[in-house]
Structure 1
Amino acid sequence: MRRPPLIASICAATIAFAPAARADFDSCLSQLRSAAAVQGVSGSTFDRVMAGVTPDPKVIESMNSQPEFKTPIWDYLATLVDEQKVAEGRQMMSRHAHALASAEQRFGVDRYAIAAVWGVESDFGNIAGRWSLPQSLSTLACTPNRRQAYFRGELIATLKIVDRGDIAPSKLRGSWAGAFGQTQFMPSTYLRLAVDGDGDGRRDLVDSTADALHSTANYLAKSGWVTGAGWGYEVRLPAGYSGPSGRTRKVALSEWSSLGIRKIDGSPLSGGGAAGLLLPAGSNGPAFLVFKNYDAAYAYNGADSYALAISLLSDRLRGRGGVQTPWPTSDRGLSRAERKEVQEHLIRRGYDIGEADGAIGAKTRQAIADYQARTGLPRDGRPGGQVLDSLRGGR
């Protein structure tokens, strides 16, 4: 989809919330109050939650904006499945061993997969969303857009959560689109699948780690998780492979074997049920056979990059090795520690990018692009190995 220029988005957002539009916003809230009442939300809850809520133009900017920088799969995985994440994950799994064990027993979902979702979604509960759900969702529900009806449903779901006494409005902070909690549930998903994991009678995905982990296990179970089975494994393709691939094209292992595919160590294929062949970077990069449990991880976010990060992180947390086949790039992806190092080098060179925290935002990308232009590197703003090596070399 073509993205309007950022300045145009800002202007459109400003115009959208002129006085006349604000009157339309208030009228929309009045209609939503009636719609929420039909679905059982008390008027007092609506008034309490929505008191003083105003439209937020930055939400519209976020909705209209698409990232200028497309993340290669090796960058995505280098950040989400790095040594720091693995170490943090093992520590958090030890700290919350009882909650993970009880979730695994209750829903039949592997504790390492549950922990991997937790790690990818919120860095094991360390990252909280900054957007107020009542404000962001009411902005999206009352501003014309192609998903307006969807966001109205999510706002009413948010009101139901408060009306039932599970989570206070002040705790409902998340992404601009409404995902919240330690494992990032949308409000409607919360109503369907959130469960009480600590036995206090409430479903609190924000402050109760047990509730978040049990709810994630329930989500994966409802998405088709097969108890006791693996998600898949890395495989070796025959030279020049040009055969079928894709997560959804699942066939018997015997068919993949007949095409010359073997496990990465050369041993015969194994596992229960049909499998699909995943080639996230094409036939010259790592290849994976994936089973139904990979599909359950995919259902959580709807992207192969995400499902692969969950699956590979779960393996690493279990003590298995990482991807063995090199990614088809001469510019390796960087871990969070290495990205922080890039920022530290840029700051020492006078770039105003804020704090060096390993999170690559627009200012860091602009600084990288400027540095690349000055040093003769390809100017793409990407924090890759070539940039880091150059910075380390003092160029």
Structure 2
Amino acid sequence: MKTASSCPRLASTLLAGLLAGLLATVGHAAERYADRPEAQQFIDEMQQKHGFDKDALTYIFRRAEYLPSVIKYISPPKDPTGVRSWQRYRSRFVEPVRIKAGVAFWDRYQDAIRAASEKYGVPEEIIVGIIGVETIYGRNTGNFQAVSALATLAFDYPRRAELFRGELEALLLMAREQHRDPLDYQGSFAGALGLPQFLPSSVRNYAVDFDGDGQIDLLNSPKDAIGSVARYMQMHGWEAGAPVAQRASIGPDADLPPLIANDITPAFDAASLASHGVKPADGTTPAGKAAFVELVTPGEDSEYWLGYQNFYVITRYNRSSFYAMSVFQLGEAVKAARTAALASRK
């Protein structure tokens, strides 16, 4: 086997590639965002639209840094044809550590969770499931400076630049509303914040001061996070008292492709499902219109579910059927474990 040192041409190519990558990173570091024309245009727009002080914003963008790891994390996989595995995905979230942490979180904040559920009509286990999937109940909220992460995505990730320019705008507005330094916010590589990992626009549109202390703090106030998750669900169309999902039974002559092509929109009534050979596994009548959800695991039989309106609402938080099912199943698992624990204490 040839090594780089045994092949001068290969060694030269590798060195050139490493130097190019290093120079690109150094170039970004040397050229602060405040010196970039597109950032200067953004600053001018923020001054004109929202009355921001230009010098203050220029100072912020001189402190913001290009973060190459942000581009790495957000970029799609090099092999987009690879089939994801539901069982592998599920095992990351519906597992003993999160379930145990979820029981402890629910016990500690049971009054706030109950109050949020009653006010917004969202089941307690769904609130608990979302916070558990997102951050393991606050254990992993991210350590990226939000301004730098969002500037990197707004100005150096063209495919989604418009979205993240909007989130950068929302972050600056939120910081002004909360009387905080924009440079102080820490979050995920995509600029998501706090226990529920809200993007700045979601903080401004849906977050609530649920602990009543006069400010919204999704990082240091679990009660604010709890109330905000419930309100987000309600505002996106949660149907109080309605089901989320149920397993589907597939007939021997089922015609599944037309159902799968619909993705996660709840579009099929009982008659439509039956005409394609699909019905609830428990023999009941579907509880309203549903999406047909296939959860694929390579080398294993797929799981088939009916996803109702509330399942669809969870996908408004993260547009993935894997995500929504993990929230649903983690919440159910935590609820079962907590019920068992409470029974054992009697």
Please indicate the TM-score interval, normalised by the length of the shorter structure. Answer: 0.7 to 0.9
Contact 2:34 2:62 in 1 (8 A): no
Pairing 1:1-395 to 2, within 5 Å after superposition: 11=20, 14-15=23-24, 17-18=26-27, 22=31, 25-28=34-37, 29-40=39-50, 42-43=52-53, 46=57, 49-50=60-61, 52-64=63-75, 66=77, 71-143=84-156, 145-165=158-178, 169=182, 171-239=184-252, 241-243=254-256, 244-246=258-260, 247-248=264-265, 250-257=267-274, 261-264=278-281, 266-271=282-287, 273-281=288-296, 284-319=301-336
C-alpha distance after superposition, 1:162-199 (max 9, x if no partner): 11126554652112221121111111121111111111
Aligned-partner Cα distance in 1 for 2:104–2:94: 15
| AA at the equivalent of 1:147 | R
Q: How many residues align?
A: 313
Could you state the TM-score of these two structures normalised by the residue count of structure 2?
0.79
How far did residue 294 of structure 1 move? 0.3
SS of aligned partner of 1:39 = helix
Aligned-partner Cα distance in 1 for 2:28–2:189: 23
Contact 1:100 1:111 in 2 (8 A): yes
Contact 1:174 1:180 in 2 (8 A): yes
| AA at the equivalent of 1:36 | M
Contact 1:25 1:142 in 2 (8 A): no
When residues 240 and 314 of structure 1 are mapped into structure 2, their CA distance, relative to the original with a 3 A threshold, is farther
Contact 2:266 2:307 in 1 (8 A): no
When residues 291 and 285 of structure 1 are mapped into structure 2, their CA distance, relative to the original with a 3 A threshold, is same
Gaps of 5+ in 1: 1-6, 321-395
Contact 1:13 1:57 in 2 (8 A): no
SS of aligned partner of 2:265 = strand
How far did residue 213 of structure 1 move? 1.3
RMSD of the alignment, in Å?
Answer: 3.1
| AA at the equivalent of 1:61 | K
Who is 1:335 aligned against?
none
SS of aligned partner of 1:234 = strand
| AA at the equivalent of 1:131 | F
When residues 275 and 222 of structure 1 are mapped into structure 2, their CA distance, relative to the original with a 3 A threshold, is same
When residues 181 and 171 of structure 1 are mapped into structure 2, their CA distance, relative to the original with a 3 A threshold, is farther
When residues 277 and 27 of structure 1 are mapped into structure 2, their CA distance, relative to the original with a 3 A threshold, is closer
SS of aligned partner of 1:235 = strand
Contact 1:55 1:135 in 2 (8 A): yes
Contact 1:225 1:296 in 2 (8 A): yes
C-alpha distance after superposition, 1:95-144 (max 9, x if no partner): 11111112112211111111111000001111120210111112222336
Aligned-partner Cα distance in 1 for 2:93–2:157: 35
Could you state the TM-score of these two structures normalised by the residue count of structure 1?
0.70
| AA at the equivalent of 1:22 | E
Aligned-partner Cα distance in 1 for 2:17–2:229: 39
SS of aligned partner of 1:288 = strand
When residues 9 and 249 of structure 1 are mapped into structure 2, their CA distance, relative to the original with a 3 A threshold, is farther
* Higher relative contact order, chain-length normalized (CA < 8 Å, sep 6+): 2
| AA at the equivalent of 1:66 | P
When residues 75 and 20 of structure 1 are mapped into structure 2, their CA distance, relative to the original with a 3 A threshold, is closer
| AA at the equivalent of 1:269 | T
How far did residue 58 of structure 1 move? 2.8
Aligned-partner Cα distance in 2 for 1:245–1:10: 50
| AA at the equivalent of 1:277 | F
When residues 111 and 260 of structure 1 are mapped into structure 2, their CA distance, relative to the original with a 3 A threshold, is same
Who is 1:364 aligned against?
none
Gaps of 5+ in 2: 1-15, 338-346
Aligned-partner Cα distance in 1 for 2:279–2:18: 50
Aligned-partner Cα distance in 2 for 1:19–1:310: 38
Aligned-partner Cα distance in 2 for 1:13–1:154: 29
When residues 249 and 54 of structure 1 are mapped into structure 2, their CA distance, relative to the original with a 3 A threshold, is closer
Contact 1:166 1:204 in 2 (8 A): no
How far did residue 285 of structure 1 move? 2.5
Aligned-partner Cα distance in 1 for 2:17–2:247: 45
